[in-house]
Amino acid sequence: MHQARIVGVGMTNFGVHDQPLPELFSSAAFDAMDDAGVDAPAIESFYLGNAMGGQTERDTHLAPTLASHIGLAGIPCQRYEDACATSSNAFKHAVRAVEAGQHDVILVGGVERCTPTTGLDTPEMTSVFASASHRQYEQPTGLSFPGVFGLLTTRHMHEYGTTEEDLAAVAVKNHHHGTYNPRAQFGSETTVEEVLESPIVASPFHLFDCCPFSDGAAAVVVANEEAAADFSGESVAVSGVGHATDTIPLADKADFTATQSARDAANQAYEQAGVGPDDIDVVELHDCFTGAEVLAIEALGFFEDGEGGPAAANGETALDGRIPVNPSGGLKAKGHPIGATGVAQLVELTEHLRGEAGERQVEGARRGLAHNLGGDAGTTIVSILEVDA
């Protein structure tokens, strides 16, 4: 089996972009190709993540359209849609294709516009996002995603005594990290008081517990070890990728606080990489809501079940903490252009492993983990990247 490596990375700022998707995506794609030192003819296939383009901007069949736009017409292209885990699933399949020797060099990218640049306002976009919840059992009740994660988090508070202040501390930490990230949508600090005084969106989440709607794009070039050695980009190894699902609708889940698909995906990734949670130096995870970060740090094995609540308040997940979580600012502060989010996590990790993360650098980071979740905690993909020993 070949080893898949990330040889080049690129991403746009996350925030508001009033550009058509092909333009927005090309910025990230060309940056990744330049970073890798890869010219277009070397790219054998294109794996795209875009979640909602049909609904938000009447734009489908996007994979070959974007490929054409950046000079890759002709190669096999595919679009993945797996709710918020969309581009991580594209990445997983690209990694598997490289591992199997089916392709030597692949461009993986994600792009999405979720702000009013699409012509949709916040309630309309919330409704579009809700199409990823269960059509028959959840959508008719008005359950949108703040509510989905509000339910999971409420159960965690009930079982373990996690508090609204614990949740607010996640927002405070990720906003603080975001101040070091020039690509982050929110580059300003917040406080526990400000979070708790912001309006309730869906109990227990206040507005500042929720990630924003964002436009953005991200891309990585994945290559096998031989191809990677020929390119100028400093590459990192993809040492493990795990992918699992859980029951949909939410009500069918055996355990509301476990986010079982994350546990299963993490175990697969740890097994492929031959490591465990203690071997991870830096984490980018799916904090679509503050409570989601609490559930994730337990599911990934960094904290015992029930002990994730106070982690941010105690500084354990800060940049200089025991296990730095979301140095980028996470979805909460960096932003969440759905289809771009998974690949953007990999861009962030690659920069840490290369020592190129600037003020937010996790010092000496040699192994990073990305956790990207979709829908009703229904899909999770966990990827482990590392620098060579």
Would you name the residues annotated as active-site residues?
A: 84, 336
Q: Considering beta carbons, is residue 16 or 75 the nearer one to a second copy?
A: 75
102 is an interface residue for a second copy by CB under 8 A? yes
Binding to a second copy, residues 52-81 (CB under 8 A): 52, 54-55, 57-61, 63-65, 67-68, 73-81
97 is an interface residue for a second copy by CB under 8 A? yes
Q: What is the DSSP string of 262-307?
A: HHHHHHHHHHHHT--GGG--EEEE--SBHHHHHHHHHHTTSS-TT-
Q: Considering beta carbons, is residue 131 or 163 the nearer one to a second copy?
A: 131
Stretch that binds a second copy, among 92-100, 196-204, 274-282, 339-347 (CB under 8 A): 92-100
Size of the site for a second copy (CB under 8 A): 62
**Contacting residue, 3, 16, 22, 207, with a second copy by CB under 8 A:** 22
Q: Considering beta carbons, is residue 50 or 350 the nearer one to a second copy?
A: 50
Cα within 13 Å of Cα(335), Cβ side: 31
**Contacting residue, 11, 29, 51, 297, with a second copy by CB under 8 A:** 51
Binding to a second copy, residues 226-245 (CB under 8 A): 243-245
What is the distance, to the nearest Å, from the Cα of residue 300 to the centroid of all Cα atoms in its chain? 15
119 is an interface residue for a second copy by CB under 8 A? no
CB of 73 to a second copy, least distance (A): 4
Closest-CA residue to 240 (of 92, 80, 84): 92
Dihedral angle over CA of 208, 214, 217, 219, nearest 10: 20
**Contacting residue, 28, 106, 114, 132, with a second copy by CB under 8 A:** 132
Kindly give, in sequence order, each residue whose CB lies less than 8 Å from that of residue 321, ignoring residues fewer than 6 positions away. Answer: 315
- Decide if 341 contacts 372 (C-beta within 8 A): yes
Kindly give, in sequence order, each residue whose CB lies less than 8 Å from that of residue 259, ignoring residues fewer than 6 positions away. Answer: 152, 246, 295, 296, 299, 373, 377, 380
Binding to a second copy, residues 158-187 (CB under 8 A): none
Q: Is 161 helix (H, G, I), strand (E, B) or coil?
A: coil
**Contacting residue, 31, 166, 264, 281, with a second copy by CB under 8 A:** 264
What distance in Å separates the CA atoms of residue 304 and residue 379, rounded to the nearest whole number? 22
Please list, residue by residue across 248-273, b when 16 or more beta carbons sit within 10 angstroms of its beta carbon and e when fewer do. Answer: bbbeebeebbbbbbbbbbbbbbbebb
251 is an interface residue for a second copy by CB under 8 A? no
Q: Considering beta carbons, is residue 120 or 333 the nearer one to a second copy?
A: 120
Binding residues (CB under 8 A) for a second copy: these are 20-22, 51-52, 54-55, 57-61, 63-65, 67-68, 73-83, 89, 92-93, 96-97, 99-102, 128, 130-136, 139, 243-249, 252, 260-261, 264, 374-376, 378-379
